[in-house]
Structure 1
C-alpha cells in the first residue's frame, strides 16, 4: 500500500512539473511547442528519473537490487554520452556538421564565419539549401496546393561570401543591403541583382547579406564593393529593422571577441547542446501555426485584387507590423544618416554614383489592398513617416533616392504577389518589380552611358 501511494505521488509530482513549466496559451505556440527547449530537456530527464524511482519502489525483487539496476541504467547513459562527447572535447568532431541542417539562416560552421569587422558573414564558396513553403504564385504548383508543401531554394556564394554565381573582378553596378538583396527564399536567377543585370546588360554584384545593418553595409562597400570598380552603388535601406540593426551591431562589435570565439569552443561543438538546438528546430513546427494570433495578424486580399482568397500574414514573423517611430528609433536615425553620408563621401572620392533605395514593409504596400477582420491587429496599425524623413534628408545631402512603395503597390494592385504571403520578403515577382524600378532610375540618370566600361 505504501509503495502504491508513493508511486501515485511521484506521478502527480511529475504531472505537476509538466503543467507548471508550460508557457501560457498566448497564440504563438500549440502543444509541445509551448515548452522552451531547455525546459523540455529538464522535464524529460526528471520524468526518466521518476520512472526509475517508480521501478525501485514497485519492483518485486529486493529494493537494493532494483536500486543498483537503476543506478546502472543511469550510469550506462552517462558513459554513452561521455563517449559521444569525447571527440568533440578533443576537437575531432563538430556535431553542428551532423545535426544542423544546411540552411543559410542558421549558425552552423558551414553557414556563418566570424569576422572581426563585420562580426559574421557567409563563408566563401558556400552552398546551402533552404526549404520554404510553396506560394500561391509558385509555378508549377497549382493554386490549390496543400498547405505546408515545401520547395527548395539553393544558395551559392562567391569567394567573399556573397550570393553571386561566380567570383567577380569588376561590376558596373553593386547592390548593398540585407536579406532582401541577398534574395531570401528566391532562386538565384530571379533575384533583383540577376534580373537587373539582364535589364541593363552589365555585370551586377549582389553584396546583400542577411541580418546586416547600415554599419556593416558601409564596411561591405569599402572592403568588397569599391574594389570591383563600380559606376553605380545601389544602397537598400529597409524601414522594418535597419535602424534597430545599428544598435545590434554596436552591441555585437563591443563584445566582438566573445562573438569570434563563440563558435570555437567545446560548447559550440558538443553533442548535447547541438541536439537541443535540433530539437528546438523541431519545436518550431508547433509555433506560429494557424491560431488566433495568426488570424489577428492577417488580412485577406480584396476580391478585386485576387479572386483566389489569398490571405497575407503580417507581424514580427510574417513581415513586420506597423507603428510610429519610437523615441529610441528616432534617436538612431541620425546615426543611420551619418552612415549614409559617409557612404556618399566614399562614393564621391571614387567617382561613383550612389542611389539610396527605401525598402517598404509588406504592410505598407498591402495595407490598402486587404480586408482585415474587425478584431485584427492590422486594422489599428499605422505606418511611420520614415520613408519621408529619409527622402528629405537624402535631398538635402545631394543623394539620389527612390522609394519602392509606389512601384510595389502598383504591381500588387494587378494581382501578382510581390511579397510572400507568410514572410516579409519580396517574392520573385517583387524582385522583378524592384529590378525594373532600379533599372529605370539608372537609365534616366544616364549613369552607365558615359565613359564606357571600366578596365
Structure 2
C-alpha cells in the first residue's frame, strides 16, 4: 500500500457514499413525481451497489470511484453536447415545419444531401427558419410558407380546432399571407422563394384581375409547386398556354381542404375548368389523419358553409403574421431544456435509439423510409373512401353552380416505379369513384410508366416530389386533355 492510498481510499469512499445518497434522492424524486416505474429501479440498484462498495478495500474503492467519475463525465458531456448542439443535421432531425417538411427524418434528409454532393454540387443545408432570418438580415421581410395543417392545436380528443380565431369565432385560412416573400422548400440543393399573390397563393401578382378565370387548379404540395422554380411547376406550364389559370394548390392540402378552397374562392373566380389534382401518396392519409377531425372543415361537405375568406384577406394576413412571428420568436429563443430531461439522458437515449434503428435495409433504402411508404400505401377504410366520394361529389356540384366542369387528375408517387409493392393500394377504388361521378379523368400513371426512365422525373432519382422534367410532363399531358374538351 502506498502512503497516499489510505487518504485516497477515504476520499473515494466519501464520493461513493455521496453517489449512493444522490441516486437514492433521484429515485425518491422520480417516484414522487411520476409514480413507480421499472426503469427507475436502476437508480435504486445503483445506490445499493455504491453503498456496498464503501466497504471494499481502498484500492477497489479508488478504482470504482475513478470509473464512476469518468463514466459520469463522458455520459453527461455527450448529453449536454446533444442538448445544445446547433448543427445543420440536428436541425434537420427536428420534426418541425420550420425545417425541411418534405423529409420525414434526419437520415432521409442526410442521404438526399449526400447524393447531391456526390454530383459535385452544393446543398444549402440551412433550415427554412435560417433562410428567413438571413433574408431579413439583408432587408427582405421574408416569411416561411404556412399551411392549414400546422394551424391546428394539438388535441388528444376526436376533434381538432384551428389556433386562429376572429370576431366570428374559429377560422382557418387555406393559404398564406398575401403579397409576401415566401421561403418555400429545398429538395435539389437550392431554396425556392416566391412572392405570393394577393390572396396568399402561388401565382403571379395581378392574376385575380383576370375574372372569370379559365382554369383553377386544386391540390397539395405538388400543385403548389414543390420544389421547382415558380415558372417550372406544372400549373405554370398550363398557364403558359392558358393565361387565366389560377393555382389554388397549397402544401399539405387534402381532399377536405381542397373542397374548402374551391367553395371559398371558386364562386369569385367562376372557372370553366376545375382541375382536381389527386396525389395518391397522402391525400387519403390527410383526410383520415387530421382533416375529418375538424368540425369546421366537415361543414364544407354537406352545407353551403363559407368562412368568406376572399373578403377577409386583411384579417388573414394579420392573424398569420402574428402566428408566424410568435413561432419564429419561440424557435429563435427556445425555452430552457428541463433539468429532469438532462438527468434522464433524454437526448443521448434518443441518439442511441436512432443509431440502433439504422439496421440493414432492402434495395439500398433507409428502413425509416420503407416503413413510412408501407404505412402510406396501406388501404384506406371504407368510411374514408365514402367520405372522399362525398367530397368529390360536392366539388362537382359546386363547380356546376357557375357551369364549371370538374376534372380529376391522378398523380402517381415515386415508389410506384421504384418499389411498386409499396405504392397505394387504393388506386383502382379512387379512380372508380371519379368515374362513377362522371368526372373526366386524367391518369398520369400510364404516362409515367411508359416514360423511358420514370425515376429521372424525380430529383436525383430519390424519394421526393417531381423535378422540373416531371412537372413539365404532367403539365403537357393535362394540356392535351384540355385541348380535347
Give 1:262 deviation, angstroms. 11
Q: 2:456 matched to which residue of 1?
A: 417
Task: Give the 3 Å change call, closer, same or farther, for CA 264–195 of structure 1 in structure 2.
Answer: closer
Which of the pair is proportionally richer in helix?
2
* Partner residue in 2 for 1:346: 398
Structure 1 residue 252 displacement after superposition: 5.1
Q: CA deviation at 1:352?
A: 0.3
Secondary structure (helix, strand or coil) at the match of 1:227 reads: helix
Taking the TM superposition and a 5 Å limit, the aligned residue runs for 1:8-407 are 9=68, 11-17=70-76, 104=144, 114=164, 116-118=170-172, 121-130=175-184, 132-134=186-188, 150-167=189-206, 168-169=208-209, 170=211, 171-198=213-240, 200-247=241-288, 248-251=290-293, 268=326, 274-276=332-334, 296=361, 321-322=373-374, 326=378, 329-364=381-416, 366-367=417-418, 378=419, 381-407=421-447
Offset, 1:4: 11
Taking the aligned partners of 1:331 and 1:436, their CA distance within structure 2 comes to 35
> Alpha-carbon deviation of 1:104?
3.9
**Given the superposition, is the C-alpha separation of residues 127 and 273 from structure 1 closer, same or farther in structure 2, using an over 3 Å criterion?**
closer
Question: Is the radius of gyration larger for structure 1 or structure 2?
Answer: 2
Give me the whole-angstrom Cα distance separating, in 2, the residues matched to 1:319 and 1:428.
Answer: 27
Distance in 1 (CA, whole Å) between partners of 2:192 and 2:482 is 29
* Contact 1:99 1:274 (C-alpha < 8 Å) held by counterparts: no
Alignment check: 8 A CA contact 1:127 1:157 kept: yes
Q: Unpaired segments of 5 or more residues in structure 2?
A: 1-7, 16-64, 83-87, 97-129, 137-141, 153-162, 299-317, 338-350
Q: Deviation string for 1:94-146 (max 9, x for gaps)?
A: x9975999674568xxx999574445531111212356354xxxxxxxxxxxx
Q: 1:123 to 1:436 in 2, by over 3 A?
A: same
Unmatched 5+ stretches in structure 1: 24-29, 39-94, 135-149, 280-285, 300-312, 368-377, 447-455
SS at structure 1 position matched to 2:457: coil
SS at structure 1 position matched to 2:222 = helix
TM-score w.r.t. the length of structure 2 is 0.55
CA contact (8 A) 2:146 2:175 kept: no
Partner deviation per Cα, 1:201-240 (whole Å, 9 max, x = no partner): 3321111100111111111111123311210000011111
**Contact 2:218 2:276 (C-alpha < 8 Å) held by counterparts:** yes
Check the 8 A contact 1:314/1:363 in 2, yes or no. Answer: no
Secondary structure at 1:233's aligned position in 2?
strand
Q: Report the secondary structure of 1:208's partner residue.
A: coil
Normalized against structure 1, the TM-score is what? Answer: 0.59
Aligned CA distance change for structure 1 residues 174 and 294 (closer, same or farther; 3 Å): farther
Find the aligned partners of 1:339 and 1:211 in 2 and give their Cα distance: 17
Partner residue of 1:428 out of 468, 473, 482? 468
Q: Secondary structure at the match of 2:246?
A: strand
Change (3 A) 1:161 1:203: same
Describe the SS at the equivalent of 2:278: strand
Higher strand share: 1
- CA change 1:347–1:320 in 2 (3 A) is farther
For residue 53 of structure 2, what is the aligned residue in structure 1? none
* Aligned 8 A contact 1:235 1:354 in 2: yes
